[in-house]
Amino acid sequence: MISKRVYVAWFGIHFFLIAAVCFAGLFSLVAEHATILPSALDTFARKAELAAAWPLGKHAGGTNPLRRSIATYLHAAGIQSGYTFFAPNIPGYHKLIFELNYPDGRIEYESPHFKGKAAALRLDSLLTRLGDNRYEPLREVVLKMLALSIWRERPDVKKIRATFGSVSPPSITDFEHGKGESFQPMFSYDFSLRDENRR
């Protein structure tokens, strides 16, 4: 059996990394002013987030071997992200609507979908990420892929307009007064098979 000291050392390092990931995630929420804490703490929280992420090698360059080793271990152990599920608040959700334009002038509306319910949860995860500004550089690429999947099913479509937006569900009081959810478009793209241009 490997010495108990080795196991104790591994235990210490492992949970130190988990704590660093969790604290970095928590301070990030505070810094983004997503919590009930006063905004005066934002600057402190940003510094604390950087300090917590320091042991994870985030300060080093992307190709730094230590940073990559730590990242590999975190991914392998499934501890690369914190546990702030459904926290601190649950925002509205996002919706992606494809407007399918046919050569005869007909217009149909479609949303990306999977066959199973379990995969539908993953689609929701994708749309939440697309709404996040950190994923802005990926938006057009991902929407293009999703539009392409529509084209595979309906090759006769001439043009696709993808509209992405956030949906604000009604509060309980609003719901009792008969109000429904509201859709706020965030951005849209037009795609055609021959050329794509951003709108």
Partner 1 sequence: MKIGGSGPGTAQQTGEIACLEPRTAMPLLRRQWQKLLEFLFPPETSTWLAVFRIGMGLQIIVYALFLGRDWHSLFSTTGKGLVSRELGEAIASFDSPVIPKLGWLVVFGQRIGFGEETVLSIAWACLLCIGFCLLLGLFCRPAAIVAWFLHLCAAESGGLLAYGADNLMTMALFYLMLSPLPDPYSLDYRLVKIRAKDPQLLGFWRRVLQVHLCFVYFFGGLAKLLGSGWWNGSNLWRALIRPPFNLLSPDILVRFKYALPVLGISICLIEIGYPIFIWIKKTRFLWLVCILGMHAAIGLAMGMYLFALVMIVLNLAAFGVGIRVAFVGHPATTTRHPH
Q: Which of 54, 138, 154, 199 binds partner 1 (CB under 8 A)?
A: 138
Give me the residue label for tokens 């055609």: 192
Question: CB of 104: closest distance to partner 1 in angstroms?
Answer: 26
> Does the footprint of partner 1 cover residue 155 (CB under 8 A)?
no
Question: CB of 7: closest distance to partner 1 in angstroms?
Answer: 6
Closest CA to 101 of 166, 142, 150: 150
Which residue, 11 or 106, has its beta carbon nearer to partner 1?
Answer: 11
Which residue, 9 or 106, has its beta carbon nearer to partner 1?
Answer: 9
> Does the footprint of partner 1 cover residue 182 (CB under 8 A)?
no
Q: Where are the beta strands (DSSP E) in the chain?
A: 93-101, 107-110, 159-168, 182-192, 196-198
Q: Which of 51, 110, 169, 187 binds partner 1 (CB under 8 A)?
A: 169
Got the DSSP string for 71-89? HHHHHHHT-SS---TT-S-
Q: Distance (Å, rounded) from C-alpha 194 to C-alpha 38?
A: 51
Token couple for 195: 């050329």
Q: Which of 13, 108, 114, 182 binds partner 1 (CB under 8 A)?
A: 114
Number of H helices, E strands in the chain: 6, 5
> Does the footprint of partner 1 cover residue 3 (CB under 8 A)?
no
Which residue, 103 or 116, has its beta carbon nearer to partner 1?
Answer: 116
Q: Which of residues 35-94 bind partner 1 (CB under 8 A)?
A: 35-37, 62, 68-69, 71-72, 75-93
